[in-house]
Amino acid sequence: MDDRQLVIIGNGVAGITAARHLRKRSKVRIKVISSESKHFFSRTALMYVYMGHMKYEHIKPYEDHFWEKNRIELLHDRVEKIDFNSKTLQLQKGESLSYDQLIIASGSKTATHGWSGLELQGVQGMYSLQDLQSMEDSTRNCKNAVVIGGGLIGVEVAEMLVSRGIKVDYLVRESRFWGNVLPKEEADLVKQQIEAEGVNIHFNTEVDSFFGNDSEVLSGVKSKDGRTFDCQFAAVATGVKPNVDFLKDSALEIEKGILVNEHLETNLKDVYAIGDCAQLRNPLKDRRSIEAVWYVGKMMGEVVAANICGKPTKYQPSHWFNSAKFFNLEYQTYGVVDASGKDSICWVNDKKNQLIRLAFDPESNKIRGVNSLGVRLSHQQFDQWLNSELTIDQVINDLEKADFNPEFFNLPFSIIKEELRSQLKPISA
Ligand SMILES: Cc1cc2nc3c(=O)[nH]c(=O)nc-3n(C[C@H](O)[C@H](O)[C@H](O)COP(=O)(O)OP(=O)(O)OC[C@H]3O[C@@H](n4cnc5c(N)ncnc54)[C@H](O)[C@@H]3O)c2cc1C
């Protein structure tokens, strides 16, 4: 028996992966604390609970008895403060708790922008279980809603609202959808998909304030250009930021997130940070210092467990990838694709519901990344091509090998290749 007390703040994918791997590798005493819920659930599936496809019980990946069986103690409480000198946590319910080693996996929270009226009932972000519950309450008799922010969470919330027959005005500050990530052609396809679902999307529209009636309940949103959008519910989906406020004014080094090295160690001995709340001091080339996605938390959870159990391991992710669904339009990206669309070639079908973009280095002609919409590509194949630094011509020649669609879903590869090659000539000339 190992008497070390290992405490993990946060029972999201990062904290729970760390706990599971620590248990596999050691006999340390493990406590996981979360203020959100007693049990781990899949945050990415919250929308399906609202839409009625699943119940909360279905999005818990482990049975409730799993934790006791694996000697992982769960505390449903909030850490108010940490005294890093005495290695003690102060909990909201009054208890204090000491640790030998601490993993902070406190995730993200909705980023807001100081608008007036944010406190009105009916205005909220969509991050947590509590957000889901308040969205449920606020939209019970809702006819019109506003969604703010052209990104992945915004489009999910729009889909949730549409599923209940609520009319949605979708306000996007930029001139196109997810403009800092998607090139124009991709953004146009997503816009078409969103509009086809009956959502009114308004680009170049920045929020000024939220206004309410006498009972402090939301009745509308005002934009900076003077328009008003009457609504009973408004979702703020303008990004997330690390949930680290409770750690401010301590010896822990924090920039946007908690600064960590490649072993996920903070500046303080025996204190680690992982998942959405961690910021890498030296991110790998073409990667961001904070990557708030599911698989990053999972990988970090495994790495931190190895490090704590005496197997020094660096966090070294492979190529960037991400996937999402914009209503029914599937999106995948691997490697690096510039949002400007520079140094890339792109095929879009006539109906404008399928797209493949290949990005490459114009000097060496080596493939750098791919975007797809409405087409499923093989992650494994692209990972291999990126690792072996294939040229763009080689990738076009072998493109069928990356087809990951069901058999009946025949992609017109000869047309796609011809189109891609025709765009390549002027670039490489
Ligand atoms: C609606 C939505 C959809 C998403 N969809 C996708 C997707 O499709 N694909 C994808 O890759 N990613 C998606 N993401 C992002 C992904 O869910 C996150 O990157 C991931 O869940 C972060 O995991 P984490 O363990 O770092 O933190 P979290 O899941 O945020 O867990 C942190 C936990 O710590 C708790 N906590 C924080 N501070 C304290 C404290 N002081 N005391 C006690 N407990 C505390 C929090 O309450 C929370 O429960 C989505 C996110 C949202 C909100």
Q: What is the CATH number of the domain that holds 302?
A: 3.50.50.60
Q: Flag whether 115 is in a domain.
A: no
Cross-strand pairs, 331 = 324, 373
Residues 138, 233, single domain; the answer is yes
Atom 30 of ligand 1: nearest residue by CA position: 107
The pTM of this model reads: 0.96
Distance of CA 248 to the CA centre of its chain: 24
CB atoms within 10 A of CB 277: 29
Model pLDDT, residue 428:
55
Dihedral over alpha carbons 185, 187, 189, 190 (to 10 degrees): 170
d(CA 245, CA 101): 21
Ligand 1 centroid to 363 CA: how many Å? 40
CB atoms within 10 A of CB 30: 23
Q: What is the pLDDT along the chain (429 residues), one digit of tens a residue?
A: 688 999 999 999 999 999 999 999 999 999 999 999 999 999 999 999 999 999 999 999 999 999 999 999 999 999 999 999 999 999 999 999 999 999 999 999 999 999 999 999 999 999 999 999 999 999 999 999 999 999 999 999 999 999 999 999 999 999 999 999 999 999 999 999 999 999 999 999 999 999 998 779 999 999 999 999 999 999 999 999 999 999 999 999 999 999 999 999 999 999 999 999 999 999 999 899 999 999 999 999 999 999 999 999 999 999 999 999 999 999 999 999 999 999 999 999 999 999 999 999 999 999 999 999 999 999 999 999 999 999 999 999 999 999 887 766 788 999 999 999 999 976 655
Residues 100, 246, single domain; the answer is yes
Q: Which atom of ligand 1 is nearest to the CA of 37?
A: 49
Model pLDDT, residue 427:
60
Domain count, the chain: 3
Residues 40, 130, single domain; the answer is no
Q: Flag whether 273 is in a domain.
A: yes
Q: What is the pLDDT of residues 384-401, one digit of tens each?
A: 999 999 999 999 999 999
Ligand 1 centroid to 43 CA: how many Å? 6
Identify which of 106, 124, 135 to mutate to test ligand 1's pocket (most ligand atoms within 8 A of the CB).
106
Q: Flag whether 315 is in a domain.
A: no
CB atoms within 10 A of CB 76: 14
Identify which of 80, 276, 295, 315 to mutate to test ligand 1's pocket (most ligand atoms within 8 A of the CB).
276
Model pLDDT, residue 429:
53
Atom 5 of ligand 1: nearest residue by CA position: 44
- Which single residue is written with the structure tokens 């997330």? 240
Residues 248, 103, single domain; the answer is yes
Ligand 1 centroid to 392 CA: how many Å? 37
Identify which of 108, 258, 304 to mutate to test ligand 1's pocket (most ligand atoms within 8 A of the CB).
108
Residue that terminates a domain, selected from 282, 308, 334: 308
Q: What is the pLDDT of residues 275-328, one digit of tens each?
A: 999 999 999 998 999 999 999 999 999 999 999 999 999 999 999 999 999 999
Residues 103, 136, single domain; the answer is no
Residues 281, 345, single domain; the answer is no
Residue numbers of the domain that contains 365: 321-428
Token pair in block for residue 8: 């993990």
Residues 134, 234, single domain; the answer is yes
Contact 120, 216 (CB under 8 A): yes
Residues 130, 90, single domain; the answer is no
Question: Burial of 212 by CB count in 10 Å (0-12 exposed, 13-18 middle, 19+ buried)?
Answer: middle
Ligand 1 centroid to 332 CA: how many Å? 21
Please give the full DSSP string across 145-183, using - where no structure is assigned. EEEE-SSHHHHHHHHHHHHTT-EEEEE-SSSSTTTTTS-
Residues 265, 335, single domain; the answer is no
Atom 34 of ligand 1: nearest residue by CA position: 10
Please give the full DSSP string across 75-92, using - where no structure is assigned. EE--EEEEETTTTEEEET
Q: Flag whether 313 is in a domain.
A: no
Model pLDDT, residue 411:
87
Residues 35, 127, single domain; the answer is no
Instruction: Give the CATH number of the domain where residue 327 resides.
Output: 3.30.390.30
Model pLDDT, residue 404:
86
> What are the DSSP E strand ranges found in 105-239?
108-110, 123-124, 144-148, 167-171, 200-202, 207-212, 218-223, 228-230, 233-236
Residue that terminates a domain, selected from 218, 238, 258: 238
Ligand 1 centroid to 1 CA: how many Å? 32
Residues 42, 134, single domain; the answer is no
Identify which of 8, 20, 36 to mutate to test ligand 1's pocket (most ligand atoms within 8 A of the CB).
36
